[in-house]
Structure 1
Amino acid sequence: MNPLRQAFEYNAGDYDRWFDDHPHIYSAQLSMLRDAVPTDGLGLEIGVGSGRFAAPLGISIGIDPSLALSARARARGVETVIGVGEHLPFRDNTCDAILMMTVICFLDDPFPVFQEAYRLLKPSGTLVLGFIERDGAIARKYQNDDVKGRFLRSVTYYSIDDVTTFYRDAGFPEVSIAERVRGFSVIVGKKQ
């Protein structure tokens, strides 16, 4: 098991508790996503983690490689599948909306995940991405945080331009910045 996956598996409680210890940050991010994530149809969260975002946003299905975090998501009412975003075990054109919340920084290569999301989305489906921007205030802060740093010290952060390129190269013709605050951004892409 790679060190990052091991950190999530063995420290799932600390990871999940961080949101309780920082309710203002959690609430602000949830609010940003709430404005961008469609509420109609079938929703999927790639990298669902403990279900902290899927459950309150009404996203019914999540996929994550962590058994420990997936168990927490299930306890929050999210149906979970153990797996990775590069190989999504779902048929083409099945989802109306897909969320990836603070996921791309953990991926060795985000582009295949964008391709898979595009494949899964129905025509006019929406991919919503919440992410920590490279060189932003939040990225700098989390590098030294005792809990978040355990998970975020060795990740790869991306710029708005990088993320927009992932969307466009995967086939999304409509890409827009929904919100951007202190180096945390929400970007929305629509499939034709």
Structure 2
Amino acid sequence: MHGVGDVRFFDRIAPLYDLVMPSAEAETLNAALARADNPVERVVDIGGGSGRATLALDAPERIVLDRSVGMLGRAQNRGLDCVRGDARSLPFDDDSVDAVTVVDAFHHMPNQQAVAEEVYRVLAPGGVFAISEFDPETLLGKGLVVAERVVGFGSSFAAPRELARFLERVGFEVSLLDTGFEYTMVAKKRESH
């Protein structure tokens, strides 16, 4: 899911990733999934890496999708279903997924427009796209933007209102679940587009 340079970085740090990253906020993620119109049976965590956020999701079928082989190896070791792939071309049928999540990774994804359009395509009507992302307008967010540039990432951050407008243009109904340094946006696929 990351740019090519970002993927290489995540392949290298995969063994240490879970030691330095906090666990995902299960309550917030599951509250986002609860916004779906129907029960969430199948969820895909794009840019899901080691599966740390996927493990927090309350759904019978949880799939981690990422481009980093090293990170997917960690997720497989946790017993999670894994798919190596690109979020710009999701390997799922139209209307076949109840929810898609992306936790702390959307800013790494090149061509976010294509990613959002693909998520919209694979989501069942009434399904949700839950995005946990960092707000570049907060003090910590400004620091993260600088740090990722120094590391050489091609990150593209958006403040909540920018991300909401972007997702609405794709066709989603958008609501902000929480705010702060890390915020969570829920984008629902309308019943008819």
Q: SS of 1:93's equivalent?
A: coil
Q: CA deviation at 1:176?
A: 0.4
Matched, 1:184 2:186: no
Counterpart CA distance in 2 for 1:75 and 1:86 is 26
Tell me: CA distance 1:184–1:126, structure 2 relative to 1, closer, same or farther (3 Å): same
1:155 matched to 2:155: yes
**How far apart, CA to CA, are the structure 2 residues paired with 1:16 and 1:45?**
16
Q: How big is the shift at 1:144?
A: 7.3
Q: State the SS of the aligned residue for 2:33.
A: coil
Scaled by the length of structure 2, what TM-score is found? 0.84
For structure 1, the 5+ residue unaligned runs are none
Partner of 2:122: 120
Structure 2 regions of 5+ residues with no counterpart? Answer: none
Identical pairs, percent: 24
AA paired with 1:32? T
Equivalences for residues 1-192 of structure 1 within 5 A: 2-19=4-21, 22=22, 26=23, 29-38=25-34, 40-58=40-58, 60-142=62-144, 154-172=154-172, 174-181=173-180, 183-192=181-190
1:92 to partner: Cα distance: 0.3
Q: How many pairs are equivalent?
A: 182
Cα distance in 1 for partners of 2:152, 2:27 equals 22
Structure 2: distance between partners of 1:46 and 1:124? 19
CA distance in 2, matches of 1:93, 1:150: 39
- Contact residue 143 and residue 153 of structure 1 kept, 8 A: no
Cα gap change, 1:12 to 1:149, in 2 (>3 Å): farther
Counterpart of 1:169, as a letter, is R
If the length of structure 1 is used for normalisation, what is the TM-score? 0.84
- Residue-by-residue CA offset, 1:119-156 (whole Å, 9 max, x unaligned): 000011111010011222332344577xx888686522
